[in-house]
Structure 1
Amino acid sequence: MGYRLLAEAAMLVHFAFLGYVVAGGFLAWRWPAAVWPHAAAACYGLGIIAIGWECPLTHVEQWARLRAGRQGLPEGFVDHYLTGVVYPEAYLEETRIAAAAVVLSSWAGAALLARRRRRRRPAEGGRGAPASEGVKDA
């Protein structure tokens, strides 16, 4: 029972990680520093696709499924749970391109918002209220 729960937990973390890779860049719209951990996750995801890096979550799920007496995944996580289920297998490349477009759009939006914030700071006198506020003419 414990191995089965571990396999299912690994599957859920895997789905969460994929969601973060695709849409996590939008967190940087609110919290600019969030772009850096998202960039690391997106680069790792790109490495899995482009270079063929192994995903440790897939290994954990595979290991736990086998220890639980269940059948292992016949292919990788994405191939098993998403391809042919969420999107047709024939649209794998289009799905990857769409995911990359979402990531790049989130980063472009974060960059525009960061630029806008930088422009406002000098006009505000650094932090807080503008320098002229609260100062009366003598």
Structure 2
Amino acid sequence: MVAALPYRFLADAVLLLHFGVVLFVIGGLVLVVVGNLAGWPWVNRLWFRLAHVAAIAVFVVQAWLGRLCPLTTLESWLRVQAGSSPYANSFIGHWVQSILFYEAPFWVFTLVYTIFGLLVVAAWWYFPPRRNKCSHKHGG
């Protein structure tokens, strides 16, 4: 039982990380659109936009390849190492999993991820990212 605790903790940590990535992908697009309409320049910073497009690209590519998310696979493996079923979880894990995971044919997820990825690309085109402009003053 004691040996299983680190695995359970790590599985819950991976689940929360997974939730954070999903929030970043969905919330990132919302921030880009709302931020541009509200005049927030930071939403177009190149580092933010590159991280955002890379994150959705991973979702889309793995779906097109017919692969499960590596975070889902890692979480399941950690739960098995803890002596639980791959989808057993803690109280917090239960609620986070109920938000993250849905029962649907795999093609539905592929379609949803692809459409969302196209929306991110459209936002990239419509609200292009900008390089950070540093204003360094050199004394003299």
Same fold (TM over 0.5): yes
Q: How big is each residue's C-alpha offset from its partner over 1:11-54, in whole Å with a ceiling of 9 and x where there is no partner?
A: 11111112222332428625233111222212111111111244
Does residue 2 (structure 1) correspond to residue 16 (structure 2)? The answer is: no
Q: Distance in 1 between matches of 2:125 and 2:17?
A: 27
Partner of 2:81: 67
Residue 66 of structure 2 aligns with an amino acid whose one-letter code is G
- Residue identity in the other structure for 1:110: F
Structure 2's unaligned 5+ residue stretches are 36-41, 89-96, 136-140
Cα displacement string for residues 57-96 of structure 1 (whole angstroms, at most 9, x for unaligned residues) = 122211110111111139xxx8994214xxxx48x46744
Residue in 2 that maps onto 1:124 = none
1:82-126 CA-to-partner distances (Å, cap 9, x unmatched) read 214xxxx48x46744663465245424531x74xx9xxx9xxxxx
Correspondence for 2:60:
46
**Percent identity among equivalent residues?**
24
- Residues 48, 54 of structure 1: 8 Å contact kept: yes
Q: Cα distance 1:99–1:5, how it changes in 2: closer, same or farther (>3 A)?
A: same
Determine the structure 1 residue equivalent to 2:69.
55
- Decide whether aligned partners of structure 1 residues 29 and 110 sit closer, same or farther in structure 2, where only a CA change above 3 A counts: farther
Contact 2:53 2:120 in 1 (8 A): no
Structure 1: runs of 5+ lacking an equivalent = 122-126, 128-138
CA offset at residue 6 of structure 1?
Answer: 0.7
Q: 1:19 to 1:81 in 2, by over 3 A?
A: closer
Aligned to 2:91: none
Larger Rg: 1
| 1:1-138 alignment runs, 5 A limit | 1-25=5-29, 26=32, 29-73=43-87, 81-84=100-103, 89=104, 92=108, 95-96=112-113, 99-100=116-117, 102-111=119-128, 114=130
Take 1:48 and 1:79, find their aligned partners in 2: how far apart are those partners?
A: 21
The aligned length equals 109
| Amino acid of the structure 1 residue aligned with 2:15 | M
8 Å CA contact 1:21–1:45 kept in 2: the answer is no
Question: Residues 7 and 78 of structure 2 are in contact (CA less than 8 Å); yes or no, is this contact kept in structure 1?
Answer: yes
TM-score, normalised by the number of residues in structure 2: 0.57
